Amino acid sequence: MSSQFTHLDETGKPSMVDVSTKSITRRLAKARAIVQLNAEILQHLKAGDIQTKKGAVFQTAIIAGIMGAKKTAELIPLCHPIGMEDCQIEINLNAQEEVVVECTAIVTSKTGVEMEALTGASVAALTIYDMCKAFSHDICIKETRLVAKTGGKRDFKLEE
């Protein structure tokens, strides 16, 4: 790992990273967000989704997460705009009855796709919060983190 911030130039001024000399490779990133819902909200879980007056929560969150991932460069300063080639959002309950949102993003590019995966998982989790808050505000987006990445200088896989 580098011991310097990549988005600061030699004078400490914010700067976009120059990727012009990097090689084009296939890059994949997977991020996860965990949402804790209370029993009142979970009782509305039917056929793998929570139904609200606004619609099916998980289905809406999937669409929102993909839309968020596609807009990452507009939201995160100095993030390179990329032509993302695939983005998949999966939403499941784990053994602790927490909602697990996983976003996998893929691009063939000179720069990584981690921020897109993290943004996709975050926006999907925020959408779950938004759609369920009418039942209760006792909702916690517990964590959002990078789970894995391939391509570029080094690969990463979270040890679980």
- The predicted-structure confidence for 24-72, as pLDDT tens digits, reads as follows 999 999 999 999 999 999 999 887 888 888 889 999 999 999 999 999 9
Q: Which domains does the chain have, with CATH numbers?
A: 31-150 (3.30.70.640)
CA separation for the pair 88, 83 (Å, rounded): 15
Answer yes or no: is pLDDT of 158 > 90: yes
Mean pLDDT estimate for the chain: 93
| Under 8 Å between Cβ of 130 and 74 | no
The residue from 86, 130, 138, 155 that is catalytic is 130
CA separation for the pair 22, 119 (Å, rounded): 24
**Can you tell me the mean pLDDT for 77-96?**
96
130 is catalytic: yes
Q: Which helix (H) or strand (E) holds 51?
A: strand 49-52
Which pLDDT value is given to residue 56? 95
Q: Tokens standing for 44?
A: 């509305």
Q: Is the pTM of this model over 0.95?
A: no
Query: What is the identity of the amino acid at 19?
Result: V
| 65: DSSP letter | H
Query: What is the identity of the amino acid at 58?
Result: F
